[in-house]
């Protein structure tokens, strides 16, 4: 397999895949990261053409691990040099990536992915082989998805010791807006409000640290994922503003924040006891397999080991 972009996520995918015994090579545009990765024993280059020729020659699974704004440049090169390679990505939004890949005519061999793991740090040095252990890794089951490529991408996620959550791209984006992109905007809001009062920083402890942790992420990355998911983030943001507005009005008129606090507490308790049933019965490639997996993912199901594939012995 071939990883394009050796930052936190690409660098971690490369390490985890190598640790699982896979043959993996990669590309990064900055020579510093290439040198650091080589020093750590990895097979990497700063020449994109070289990596793509090699991918095309070995029918490698290409993993796009760059921020959203860099995708068109890479897709243009892939279209020229390695259009038949199976292709996946790790981008935090899925609908916008799907449209981009379609524009480049590469949809046939593409299955979107999103490992739900990360830190607020960037670059090769921030990565580690254990980043995805136990983490959900979304593998898309959109209508166009090819069973063979889907199986390859799922196997990569399982090799990285993640658990696979099948989802359609639009449903992923709505869920990601609620659990990732909106929390980013709220974290920035909390940090900004506290930043106006020096005493607040002096007193800050667990609540502030936990609630603002993701505000330490590089602003460009946060902007890239929030802005690329505007269609799903806007309704989530509106819902948040409405809840807060109602809470402000209730506090002003009756002195109570009970409604929001009780709803929020109950939802958090449901999250703590949320069960994640294992998906085992779907045979990949049979009629309706994508719909079946999308329904199972929607219900909270996860894949922990490879599913049987139509026409194979597994
Ligand atoms: P990073 O900054 O650590 O790495 C980004 C990589 O992209 C670097 O190797 C950089 O050299 C490369 N890059 C940037 N612009 C480029 C360009 N124009 N041409 C070629 N290469 C370019 O970022 P990351 O956290 O690894 O994020 C990579 C992807 O993973 C993003 O799409 C992000 O949405 C997604 N993601 C991030 C997290 C997270 O927590 N950070 C979690 C899941 C998915």
Q: Is the CB of 28 under 6 A from ligand 1?
A: yes
Q: What is the average pLDDT score of the chain? A: 96
Q: Are strands 87-89 and 113-115 parallel, antiparallel or unpaired?
A: unpaired
Confirm whether pTM is higher than 0.95: no
Minimal-distance CA residue to ligand 1 atom 13 = 66
pLDDT of 180 over the 80 cut: yes
CATH number for the domain including 200?
1.10.3660.10
**Residue-wise pLDDT tens digits, 54-74:** 999 999 999 999 998 999 999
Burial 263-282 (b: 16+ CB within 10 A, else e): eeeeeeeeeeeeeeeebeeb
Looking at the fold, whether 158 and 220 belong to one and the same domain comes out as no
| Residue 309 located in a structural domain | no
| Average confidence (pLDDT) over 258-284 | 96
Q: Best mutation site among 4, 9, 177 for ligand 1, i.e. most ligand atoms within 8 A of its Cβ?
A: 9
The domain containing residue 155 runs over which residues? Answer: 2-167+275-299
| Residue 310 located in a structural domain | no
* CA 59 remoteness from chain centre: 24
Q: Best mutation site among 3, 8, 34 for ligand 1, i.e. most ligand atoms within 8 A of its Cβ?
A: 8
| Residue 308 located in a structural domain | no
Looking at the fold, whether 15 and 135 belong to one and the same domain comes out as yes
Where residue 105 falls (left for φ over 0; alpha for ψ -120 to 50; beta otherwise) is left
| Residue 29 located in a structural domain | yes
Looking at the fold, whether 279 and 263 belong to one and the same domain comes out as no
Structurally, the chain folds into a number of domains equal to 2
| Residue 314 located in a structural domain | no
Angle at 60 between CA 59 and CA 66, to 5 degrees: 135
Confidence at residue 118, expressed as pLDDT on a 0 to 100 scale: 86
Looking at the fold, whether 12 and 95 belong to one and the same domain comes out as yes
Looking at the fold, whether 23 and 117 belong to one and the same domain comes out as yes
Among the candidates 273, 291, 309, a domain finishes at 273
Looking at the fold, whether 97 and 242 belong to one and the same domain comes out as no
Looking at the fold, whether 187 and 70 belong to one and the same domain comes out as no
Going from the Cα of 297 to the center of ligand 1, the distance in angstroms, rounded, reads 26
Looking at the fold, whether 50 and 160 belong to one and the same domain comes out as yes
Going from the Cα of 312 to the center of ligand 1, the distance in angstroms, rounded, reads 35
Q: What percent of the chain has pLDDT over 90?
A: 95
Closest CA to 112 of 158, 69, 165, 73: 165
Ligand 1 atom nearest 68 alpha carbon:
32
Confidence at residue 312, expressed as pLDDT on a 0 to 100 scale: 80
Going from the Cα of 190 to the center of ligand 1, the distance in angstroms, rounded, reads 25
pLDDT band at 31 (very low <50, low <70, confident <90, very high): very high
- Quick check: 6 and 15 in contact, CB under 8 A? no
| Residue 157 located in a structural domain | yes
Going from the Cα of 197 to the center of ligand 1, the distance in angstroms, rounded, reads 33
Burial 100-127 (b: 16+ CB within 10 A, else e): bbeebebbebbbbbbbbbbbeebbbebb
245: three-class secondary structure by DSSP? helix
| Residue 52 located in a structural domain | yes
**Residue-wise pLDDT tens digits, 72-109:** 999 999 999 999 999 999 999 999 999 999 999 999 99
| Residue 289 located in a structural domain | yes
Confidence at residue 277, expressed as pLDDT on a 0 to 100 scale: 94
Minimal-distance CA residue to ligand 1 atom 8 = 7
């Amino acid at each position: 397999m071939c990883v394009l972009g050796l930052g936190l996520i690409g660098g971690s995918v490369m390490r985890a895949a190598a640790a699982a015994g896979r043959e993996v090579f990669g590309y990064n545009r900055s020579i510093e990261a290439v040198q650091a990765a080589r020093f750590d024993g990895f097979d990497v280059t700063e020449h994109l053409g070289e990596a793509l020729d090699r991918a095309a020659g070995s029918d490698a699974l290409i993993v796009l691990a760059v921020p959203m704004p860099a995708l068109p440049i890479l897709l243009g090169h892939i279209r020229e040099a390695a259009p038949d390679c199976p292709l996946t990505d790790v981008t935090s939004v899925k609908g916008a990536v799907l449209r981009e890949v379609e524009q480049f005519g590469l949809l046939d061999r593409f299955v979107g992915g999103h490992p739900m793991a990360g830190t607020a740090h960037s670059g090769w040095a921030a990565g580690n082989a254990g980043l995805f252990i136990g983490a959900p890794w979304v593998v898309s089951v959109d209508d166009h998805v090819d069973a063979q490529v889907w199986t390859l991408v799922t196997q990569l996620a399982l090799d990285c010791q993640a658990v696979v959550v099948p989802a359609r791209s639009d449903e992923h984006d709505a869920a990601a807006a609620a659990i990732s992109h909106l929390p980013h905007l709220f974290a920035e809001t909390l940090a900004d409000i506290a930043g106006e009062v020096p005493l607040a920083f002096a007193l800050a402890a667990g609540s502030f640290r936990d609630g603002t942790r993701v505000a330490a992420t590089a602003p460009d990355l946060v902007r890239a994922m929030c802005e690329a998911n505007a269609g799903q983030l806007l309704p989530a943001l509106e819902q948040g503003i409405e809840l807060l507005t109602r809470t402000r009005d209730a506090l002003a008129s009756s002195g109570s924040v009970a409604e929001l606090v009780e709803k929020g507490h109950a939802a958090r308790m449901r999250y703590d006891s949320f069960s994640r049933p294992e998906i085992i019965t779907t045979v990949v490639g049979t009629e309706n397999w994508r719909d079946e997996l999308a329904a199972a993912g929607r219900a909270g199901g996860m894949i922990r080991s490879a599913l049987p594939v139509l026409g194979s012995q597994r």
